[in-house]
Amino acid sequence: MIDRPGARGLPVLDLPNPRVGKAAAPATRPPLVDGRLEEYLPEPQALPRFFLWTLGCQMNRSDSEEMAGRLLAAGCDEASELEAADLVVINTCAIREAAEQKVIGRQGYLGRLKAANPGLRIVLTGCAVREEERSGLARRYPAVDMFLRPDEEPELVDRLGLASAQAPIGSVGSPDSLGSLGRVGAVGATTTVGRHRVGVADGLAHTRATAVAGGTVARSSAISAWLPIVYGCDKTCTYCIVPFSRGPERSRPFDDILDEARSLAVAGYREVTLLGQNVNSYGHDLAPDARFRHVDSERWAGRRLDLHGRPDLAELIRAIDGLRTADGLPAISRLRFVTSHPWDLSDRLIAAMAECPSVCEHLHLPVQSGDDAVLRRMGRQYTIEHYLERLASIRESVPGIAISTDVIVGFCGETEAQFEATLDLLRSVRYDQVFAAAFSPRPGTPAAKLPDDVPPADKRRRLNQLLALQESIGLERNRAWQGETVEVLVDSVVPQRSHDHDHEAGDAARASLGVGEGQVHLAGRSRHNKLVHVAGAAQFVGQLVRVRVEHASPYALRGTLA
C-alpha cells in the first residue's frame, strides 16, 4: 500500500529572524540569471545560515550536496562551522549503533547552543529517521525540531517555510518546481517491507533531475562527483537497517543519469562514481524500452532477475563511457561504482568493465563472512563458492583489478571456526582493502531477533585479528606497485601537520616525500583506488599525473612525478 502524501498537510517549521545582530556571512548564493530580479531577492536577514553535518556513506554525502544546493538556491548562506549556524541539518547514519550514538551523544551540546541562540533550529534527516521509529525520535533526539526521512529530504526547504516566498525564481526550491513535485505526489510516500512501514523513494529521481537541470547540486568537489543511480535496497540482509531507512529500490531513468553524466563532463569532472546500495540491480524496476531489447535475464545465482528489455548497469556504464571528447577519449576519464552485491554481478557487467576504458580497475565486492552458514544467517543469497567464481571471472577479464570488501565479525552465532574461515578467505583472496566492523544489532532488523551471542570482548579480538592480518596483506599488495608508474588523479593538498591516518601522519610523510621549493604535499588516487602521495606543484590538483611508486605502506603509496 502506498500512502499519497499530497493528502497530508506538511508541518512547517517556524524560523524566526535569526540574523539580527550577527555579522553577515560571505554571499554564496547562485547568481541570478536575470539581474532585474535583484530587487525581488529576499532580505538576507530573513534567511538562516545553515550548517550540514553529514555522517555515513557516499550516498549520504551525495544527498547532503543536494540539500545544501536547495538551501543555497533558496537564498541561505552556508556557515563555516556548526556554532555559527542558525539552521543545523544533521544527515545521520544508522548502520551501527555507534553511528547513531555519535549524534545522540551531541544532544546536550546542541541543546545548550539552542539555549544561547533561541533562533537556532535543528533538522535531523538520513538513515536514523525511520518511519517505524517516529514516535521515539523526539525522545532520543531532544534538541531536534524536525525529522525528515531520507526520501523526504527534497521537502527540506519547503518545510522550513523558505521555498515559496524566497527562493530565486527558476531554482529547485521555487514555487514552480515544488508545484510539479506536488503533482508527482510521491515524496513522503510509504510502503511496507515485511510488516514494517518504510519510506519509499518514488520522488527522488524526479527531484534529483530537477536539481541537476537547475544546476543547484552543491557538489563538494570540482574533480570527482557522486552520481546516484538507484535509491533504496531490495535485499534482505538480516543485519542491515538500510532497507528500513531507505525503502525499496528505485532506479533513476537511464537518460536522466546520462544527462547528469554529460553535464559533469561538460563541467570538467574527471571522475564520476555511480552510487547505490546495490548498483548491480540497477534498472530492474524501470519500464522495458526498445533500446534495451538485447538485455536479458542476468543473475548468476539464485532467483532469476528478469531484465528483458530494461537497462542494466552494464548498459549504463557503456553509455557513460561512450561520452567522448572530440579526440575520441572518454569525456569522463574515470568511472567507478559502489556498491556491488556479489549475487547480481553479471557476466554482462564484467564484460562492460573489461571493455570500457574509463571504468577503473577496482571493484568493491562486500563478502561479509567467509562461512556459508553465517552467510545464510545473514541472508546474503550467495555461497563462498559463488563469490569466488565471480571473483575469478572478474580477475580473468580485468587482470590486476584491485578488490576491496566489507566484513562483519561476531555476527549472531559466529563460532571461532567460522571466524577462521573468514581469515582463510582473506588469505586466499588477498584483498587490497577490507572495511571490517563488529556486528551491531539494529532494531527492527531480522537479526535483532537472533541471539547476539558473541561476547563484545571476542568481537573486539576478532576484529583486531582480522585487521592485523589484512594490514600485512595490504602491505604486500601495495609493495607490488613499487617501481611501477601509475596514473594519479590529484584531488588535494595535504595540509601540514595532518594527523589523518590515511595521510600517513603528515610530517614524516612530507619529509620522506622530499617536498621541494615551490612544491606541496599532494594526494590522489590511482585507477586501482590506491591512495598516492607525491610532491608537486599545487596546480596539479584536479589533474591526472603520472607517479613512479617508490614506497608502499599498508594503506598508501608514495612516489615521485614521472
Binding stretches for ligand F3S (CB under 6 A)? 56-57, 59-60, 93-95, 126-127, 241-242, 245
Residue 542: Cβ within 10 Å count: 17
Q: What is the DSSP string of 283-318?
A: TTTSPP-GGGTT-----SSSS----TT---HHHHHH
What track of x and - describes contact with ligand SF4 for positions 315 through 354 (by CB under 6 A)?
A: --------------------------x-------------
How many residues comprise the chain? 562
Which of ligand SF4, ligand SAM, ligand F3S, none lies near 437, with the C-beta cut-off 5 to 8 A by kind?
ligand SAM
DSSP code for 31: P
**Residues contacting residue 148 through CB under 8 Å, at least 6 positions apart:** 123, 124, 125, 129, 155, 156, 159
Which of ligand F3S, ligand SF4, ligand SAM, none lies near 408, with the C-beta cut-off 5 to 8 A by kind?
ligand SAM
Q: From the CB of 380, what's the least distance to ligand SF4, in Å?
A: 7
Among 123, 229, 237, 391, binds ligand SF4 (CB under 6 A): 237
Which of ligand F3S, ligand SAM, ligand SF4, none lies near 188, with the C-beta cut-off 5 to 8 A by kind?
none
Work out whether 250 is an interface residue with ligand SF4 (CB under 6 A): no
Backbone angles phi, psi at 535, to 5 degrees: -90, 140
Q: What is the CA radius of gyration of the chain?
A: 24
Q: From the CB of 243, what's the least distance to ligand SF4, in Å?
A: 5
Which of ligand SF4, ligand F3S, ligand SAM, none lies near 442, with the C-beta cut-off 5 to 8 A by kind?
ligand SAM
Q: What is the DSSP string of 317-375?
A: HHHHHT-B-TTSSBSSSEEEEE---GGG--HHHHHHHHH-TTB-SEEE---B-S-HHHH
Site residue total, ligand SF4 (CB under 6 A): 9
- For the four alpha carbons of 341, 343, 344 and 349, in that order, the dihedral sign comes to positive
Rounded to whole angstroms, the Cα distance separating 88 from 49 reads 9
Nearest Cα to Cα of residue 324 among 346, 302, 296, 357: 357
Rounded to whole angstroms, the Cα distance separating 472 from 408 reads 19
Residue 545: Cβ within 10 Å count: 18
In degrees, rounded to 5, the angle at the alpha carbon of residue 513 between the alpha carbons of residues 510 and 516 is 85
| Burial (CB count <10 Å: 0-12, 13-18, 19+), residue 61 | middle
Work out whether 52 is an interface residue with ligand SF4 (CB under 6 A): no
Of 245 and 404, nearer to ligand F3S (C-beta) is 245
Q: From the CB of 129, what's the least distance to ligand F3S, in Å?
A: 10
Q: From the CB of 341, what's the least distance to ligand SAM, in Å?
A: 5
Classify residue 354 as left (phi > 0), alpha (psi -120 to 50) or beta. alpha
Residues of this chain that bind ligand SAM (CB under 6 A): 57, 95-96, 239-240, 242, 277-278, 339, 341, 366, 368, 406, 408, 437, 439-440, 442
Work out whether 278 is an interface residue with ligand SF4 (CB under 6 A): yes
Which of ligand F3S, ligand SF4, ligand SAM, none lies near 423, with the C-beta cut-off 5 to 8 A by kind?
none
Rounded to whole angstroms, the Cα distance separating 126 from 129 reads 6
Work out whether 436 is an interface residue with ligand SF4 (CB under 6 A): no
Work out whether 277 is an interface residue with ligand SF4 (CB under 6 A): yes
Cell numbers standing for residue 456: 563484545
Of 79 and 338, nearer to ligand SF4 (C-beta) is 338
Q: From the CB of 49, what's the least distance to ligand F3S, in Å?
A: 25
Classify residue 554 as left (phi > 0), alpha (psi -120 to 50) or beta. alpha
Rounded to whole angstroms, the Cα distance separating 381 from 155 reads 36
Which of ligand SF4, ligand SAM, ligand F3S, none lies near 243, with the C-beta cut-off 5 to 8 A by kind?
ligand SF4
Which of ligand SF4, ligand SAM, ligand F3S, none lies near 94, with the C-beta cut-off 5 to 8 A by kind?
ligand F3S
**Residues contacting residue 374 through CB under 8 Å, at least 6 positions apart:** 368, 411, 413, 414, 418
Q: From the CB of 235, what's the least distance to ligand SF4, in Å?
A: 4
Of 95 and 146, nearer to ligand SAM (C-beta) is 95
Q: In whole angstroms, what separates CA 168 from the centre of its chain?
A: 28
Site of grid cell 601537520: 497
> Among all residues, whose Cβ is closest to ligand F3S?
56
Which of ligand SAM, ligand SF4, ligand F3S, none lies near 127, with the C-beta cut-off 5 to 8 A by kind?
ligand F3S
Work out whether 240 is an interface residue with ligand SF4 (CB under 6 A): yes
Q: From the CB of 24, what's the least distance to ligand SAM, in Å?
A: 39
Site of grid cell 527558476: 170
Among 106, 197, 235, 395, binds ligand SF4 (CB under 6 A): 235
Which of the ranges 235-243, 436-444, 476-484, 544-552 carries the binding residues for ligand SF4, by CB under 6 A? 235-243
Interactions with ligand SF4, residue window 440-469 (CB under 6 A): none
Of 252 and 341, nearer to ligand SF4 (C-beta) is 341
DSSP code for 419: H
Q: From the CB of 100, what's the least distance to ligand F3S, in Å?
A: 9
Nearest Cα to Cα of residue 244 among 150, 339, 123: 150
- Residue 125's Cβ-side half-sphere holds a number of Cα atoms within 13 Å equal to 28
Work out whether 120 is an interface residue with ligand SF4 (CB under 6 A): no
Cell numbers standing for residue 311: 537497462
Q: From the CB of 364, what's the least distance to ligand SF4, in Å?
A: 11
**Residues contacting residue 471 through CB under 8 Å, at least 6 positions apart:** 554
Of 253 and 379, nearer to ligand SAM (C-beta) is 379
Rounded to whole angstroms, the Cα distance separating 298 from 541 reads 40
Q: From the CB of 438, what's the least distance to ligand SF4, in Å?
A: 15
Site of grid cell 548468476: 300
Q: Are strands 230-231 and 250-251 parallel, antiparallel or unpaired?
A: antiparallel
Tell me the three state secondary structure of residue 386: helix
Which of ligand F3S, ligand SAM, ligand SF4, none lies near 137, with the C-beta cut-off 5 to 8 A by kind?
none
Among 85, 242, 313, 359, binds ligand SF4 (CB under 6 A): 242
Q: From the CB of 391, what's the least distance to ligand SAM, in Å?
A: 15
Residues that bind ligand SF4 (CB under 6 A): 233, 235, 237, 240, 242-243, 277-278, 341
